[in-house]
Amino acid sequence: MHKTTSALAVLLISLSTYASVDEGIAAYNEGNYATALEHFKEAAERGDPAGKHLLASLYYQGHGVAKDVQRAVALFTEAADAGFRPSQANLALMYSVGDGVQRDPAKAVAYGMRAAEAGDVQSQFNLGQAYRRGDGVAQDYKQAAMWYRKAAEAGDLRAQNEYGLLFAQGLGVTQDYVQAYAWIDMPARAGDPQAIKNKAQLLQILSKSDADRAKVLAAQYAELYGHRQ
């Protein structure tokens, strides 16, 4: 899931106009799921998208209530249709893998597009994947590159590796091994095994002068786009 469960409490405190949501989040963080359930229900019944999202998360997890993924989907859908980005991102993931719903790549892309356009980094990366693979949309490397870049510039290590690979392969972007190295260097330094292999292969391809340029650019990118917690 899209960090719907454990990290949501911290992320959504300022997104609701209802005090009951904040009180529910405090209870959730203390492990008092029954009290959180009461507050999230109150907010959801008032029509607050954040309350619906958080209530859906409890149903999805089975915290403070019997696990009910179908109920979670219904609540996520209501919040997503009201423009709530975290619910859009969750539904995109659920439809992409068939979690509680019938797998529907086109629907996954539709929800993911809304979340990605609103700035959700994971959804941006997932859209890059969808366009690269042609999953739910026509394969389009330029679109893949655009979405990978957005996520990569936000510090997403997976997107940085994938965006770098597009430069190495000349897919959706002009082939450029220096750019490829500069993007892949960040996830490689973070310990990603595939990125480490990709970086080593690029060093075999690059001339010494190009490798020197690539390392300078990699340092600049690390300063600009280094992984953010």
What are 36-54's pLDDT values in tens digits? 999 999 999 999 999 999 9
- Tens-digit pLDDT profile for residues 206-218: 999 999 999 999 9
Cβ contacts of 11 within 8 Å, gap of 6 or more = 3, 86
What does the domain layout of the chain look like in residue ranges? 1-118, 139-229
Options 1.25.40.10, 1.20.1260.120, 1.20.20.10, 3.40.50.720; CATH of 1-118: 1.25.40.10
Global pTM reads 0.87
Distance CA 24, CA 178 (A): 49
pLDDT at res. 78? 98
